[in-house]
A and B are shown apart, each in its own frame.
Chain A
Amino acid sequence: MTLALVSPSARRDLEVVLGADPAPVLIAGGTDLLIAPARLPAAGIIVDLSRLAELSVIDEREGGLFVGAAVTVARLAREPLVHRLAPVLALAADDFGSVQIRNRATIGGNIANAAAAADLAPALVAAGAEAVLWTAAGGGGAEERLAVAALLARRPVPGRGRAIAGFLLPRVAAPRAAFVKLGRRQEPAIARLTLAATGPAGALALVAGAIGPAPQRLAAAEAALNAGGAGLLAALAAAVGEAIPGRASAAYKARAIRGLGADLLERLGTEALP
């Protein structure tokens, strides 16, 4: 029984180790794995992603924004390019964890950890982001691409023999964006509810987090939002009621999401309407 740590600095080296059996555990910021030692294996391979330069890239790519999987949340929150091209992601990053967690945690880790309360997940889904996955050697250096919403439906995330390389966010002209979060205290707090909205005026996507295992696009509430906000709060409350019927927290969340909805409208510069 041995436990090995490898720190590949080239994509090819990572792809070799991705095929190991049992599956290696990938670690970047460590903010989830290191505080839950039971989730670290006693034997096998731990792969440290911090030396793969390509995973720390933020650039314009394919007409949109590319964010490498090992980009820290703190960097997302302050990078001008992210603010310009994907403001909802920058806003979610700013509300994420606490200062210390933001400095260590990475965007790829937040998605791979697949927590229902993951702060960046609803923002990425609302922005229509695609994940770029690298696959184990033998795939001929193939990349797999799929929508973040579809990626989060997988178990495990991102799937056997794969690593998240980054995310591609489509460019939107003059995007509007807001991200709001409700926790038990300001920070750090595990989100009890999040709302992410982004898109061109009149065609925003509205996604809720922490009301199910994966972010949910709220069609009726989204329509109300795009129609000027009337009926949004009631639609949000109804959506929560449908998402988590019978849960002990359902009654509270159905009321509290009205507060989040009002915050969302305020951030978008729209008056709260009943």
Chain B
Amino acid sequence: MTAVGQRHPMLDGALKATGALAYAADLAIDGLVHGAVLTSPHAHARVLDLDARAALADPAVLGVFWHANMPAHRYNSAVWFEGQVAPEDETMFPATPRHIGDRVAVVVATSMAAAEAALDRIAVRYEELPPCLTPEEADRARGPVFAEDGTPTFLNPIDELDFLRGDPDAGLARAAAVVETWVTTPKTHHCAVEPHVAIALPEADGRIRVLSPNQSVHATQVVVARALGLPARDIHVVKTPIGGSFGGKAEPILEPIAAELARRLARPVRLAYDRRRTFTSTRMRASARVRIRTGFDAGGRILARETETLIDIGAYITGGNWLPGSMLQRHVRLYAIPAERYRGRAVYTNTPPTGAFRGYGSPQINAAGEIHLDIAAARMGHDPVALRLANAVGPGAIEPYSGLDVGNARLRECIAEGAAAFGWAARRAAPTGPGRLRRGVGMAAAAHINGCYPGSDEATTMTLALRPDGRVRMVSALHDLGCGSNTTLAQIAAEVLGVTPASLEIVEADTDLCGYDLGTRASRMTYAQGEATRRTALALGEAMRTAAGLVLNRGAGDLVCEGGAVRDRDGGARLGFAELARELGRAAIALPAATLTHTATANPSSHAAHFAAVTVDALTGRVRVTDYLAVHDIGRAINPMLVEGQIHGGVQIGIGMALFEDVANDPVSGRMEGRSLARYILANSLEMPPVAVRLIEAGEPTGPFGAKAVGEIATIPVAAAVVNAVNHALGSELTHLPLVPERVLAALGEG
């Protein structure tokens, strides 16, 4: 292996480090005008009237647009492909804004400063309506979600999913111990460095070009088209470099508005959110309240489990109707449980909408399940590692919800090797201390998916083509979200073609250039697009050997691609790729190219076991994570350095969810406390423990070179591992996240 398994630096790393890479907000565009969005100060209100005269008095202001003069086509920002049926409850500018930060109007002006200044001169008359701010209250407002004419009612639940397997009542009845817990998880925000931005330009042929950092150009195209009431072919979407997404840019938010304004004004328009609006007016992780009741036999085997989730999805459905199912899918692929009852309900509240965020429901359900399991272990006197090993799924297990094989699932190795490497037994047995600083260790296991199979359209089309200069161009729906996925794919192609990853010329996603693809999400990129890359590279290699055979007068079978050249298998003649291109040009033979569509045929599990050590200050309630080990069942690491980077970032997000992060919508006013980076506390570098990474590389037969996903699972077990360590340190049963000092001290009782 010359490329796969190498710690290759990111191909665009130097451009990023030197600031040379142009992000969407950096693009200089002639005649660009700027939009600024006016947002609702009320959690629920009707816009009665809007007076824009004072704003329009400034000649720099080109227009003020709101629900009365903008299209009101309903859409769902979480659809992925054309023709997809989804509940549509969002409009660009609702007549009845549903959360603080909901869009009320947009001002377009010749400068950003003029547009921002004009916001203050727009007079809006609102009729305030009673808001519904907690999921419990929302759950009581029941009824059909859409009226017969298709109008959203905003009644609940927006989705309810029941699942039954075996006989849980019988299992619970014969259990030696039954444990019940109630875990709640916070709404957390992506906090990508780059805030949301979209640029739209009228094209000469009447189409609208949209430039934005997004996770799927095709999804963006469909959502913009629906919002504007146009056919998708009229929208041309180009992905720009992303300064972080984590799911936050999976759904188009500003793109439809920018496109409509560009169409209407026949000028290029840019919309950009500042940090506050990125908090209040985009998407975040849905919160969950999860009750779990599990029956165990005396040895700790799980006999039956009942789970009930109540998910607060915020003001619009977006993809929230998928959450009860996606949580179930991940919940039931971790342990082998003979009897299971699950009910998941998702409800609207008048709080900012939720959407994709690294793991899509997994971190919530995993925190609930894994905190529950540790509380059960403590109550029954079992060791948490032993309890998990007794119940872990193994290779070839059938995941009961979808009925699919989990593949070469190496959960047990993650747990067992991790426990040994961490020194679990000795550290767990060490005294937690009676004094001010209490020490504890905790762990958690996780299971996640690889892509969307068997969901529709899990397919990727890729073209690899030899260029006249000897480089290889890769064209596909490529969406590197900043984590280096293009480098990973380049390594896969390079391995097959015998070149260096830098020989790949990568063309990122553009709806005019690439075939349909779901985009970078759902832990599908390495597994699905990586395999598409490997197969396409094999086809290109074949075409290159055939073409080189014409030049060298050899059969393709006598030639190999190696060391940047096509050469004789036995080491005779050799043609560098550039030389081959030149020779083919001279002979008027077309340069080799290969296009291939790969459709996933499986959805194996990725697994992980994480181990955390903490100290808890019994006087201030402050928690510090002092040591960390992440063990991942990765199949094979295409680039171990990038895998480690993903895991480090995942641990950072998970520590935030465990200890610090909560946008904290006030349950009375709906006002978001954490609407700035001063108030929304992230685990920054000083809070990060040393993170050791250990990879289990047992190979996944359906993945490229045996690889499977790490992007989302890296953050999934973190919160539970940290909370379990705190509960170990204190002998507590803390279950409400994040573990802010107030909650920690409350668990210690009156001191």
Contacts and interface: CB of A to CB of B under 8 A. Distances in A.
Do A and B truly interact? yes
Interface of A: 35, 42, 182, 184-187, 189-190, 249, 251-252, 255-256, 258-260, 262
A186 B685 CA distance: 10
Given A255-B751, A256-B741, A259-B436, A182 B686 contact: no
Contacts of B678: 35, 190
Interface string B180-224: 000000000000000000000000000000000000000000000
B617 A259 contact: yes
A247 to B, nearest CB: 12
B745 A256 contact: yes
Contacts of B617: 259
Contact of A42 (B117, B622, B686): B117
Given A187-B686, A190-B678, A256 B660 contact: no
A262 B684 contact: no
Contacts of A256: 619-621, 741, 745
Contact of B619 (A184, A187, A189, A258): A258
A185 B621 contact: no
A182 B741 CA distance: 11
Given A185-B681, A259-B436, A252 B741 contact: yes
Contacts of A185: 660, 681, 683-684, 686-687
Nearest to B686: A186
Contact of A184 (B681, B686, B751): B681
A155 to B, nearest CB: 22
From A35, A186, A258, A259, name the one whose CB has the most chain B CB atoms within 10 angstroms: A259
B437 to A, nearest CB: 10
Given A182-B622, A184-B740, A189-B681, 6 more contacts: A42-B117, A190-B678, A255-B621, A255-B751, A259-B617, A260-B620
Contacts of B620: 182, 256, 259-260
Interface in B557-583: none
B742 interface: yes
B676 to A, nearest CB: 9
A35 B740 CA distance: 26
B742 A252 contact: yes
A9 B616 CA distance: 51
Contacts of B740: 184
B619 A262 contact: yes
A249 B740 CA distance: 12
B183 to A, nearest CB: 22
A240 to B, nearest CB: 13
A255 B619 contact: yes
Given A259-B436, A262-B436, A252 B621 contact: yes
Contacts of B619: 255-256, 258-259, 262
A216 B69 CA distance: 56
Q: Is the interface of B mostly helix, strand, loop or mixed?
A: loop
6 contacts: A42-B117, A184-B740, A185-B686, A187-B686, A256-B741, A256-B745
A64 B678 CA distance: 36
Nearest to B750: A255
Contacts of B622: 182
Interface in B714-751: 740-742, 745, 751
Nearest to A193: B620
Contacts of B751: 255
Interface in B658-712: 660, 678, 681, 683-684, 686-687
A35 B621 CA distance: 30
Contacts of A255: 619, 621, 745, 751
Contacts of B684: 185
Given A259-B436, A259-B619, A252 B117 contact: no
Nearest to A249: B742
A182 B117 CA distance: 38
Nearest to A260: B620
Contacts of A182: 620, 622
A126 to B, nearest CB: 21
Contacts of A258: 619
B70 to A, nearest CB: 28
Contacts of B660: 184-185
Contacts of A186: 686-687
A225 B751 CA distance: 21
Contacts of A35: 678
Contacts of B436: 259, 262
Interface in B419-440: 436
B616 to A, nearest CB: 11
Nearest to B113: A42
Contacts of A42: 117
Contacts of B117: 42
Interface in B238-279: none
Contacts of A259: 436, 617, 619-620
Interface string B615-640: 00101111000000000000000000
Contacts of B742: 249, 251-252
Nearest to A184: B681
A184 B117 CA distance: 34
A34 B621 CA distance: 33
Contacts of A189: 681
B494 to A, nearest CB: 39
B30 to A, nearest CB: 28
Contacts of B745: 252, 255-256
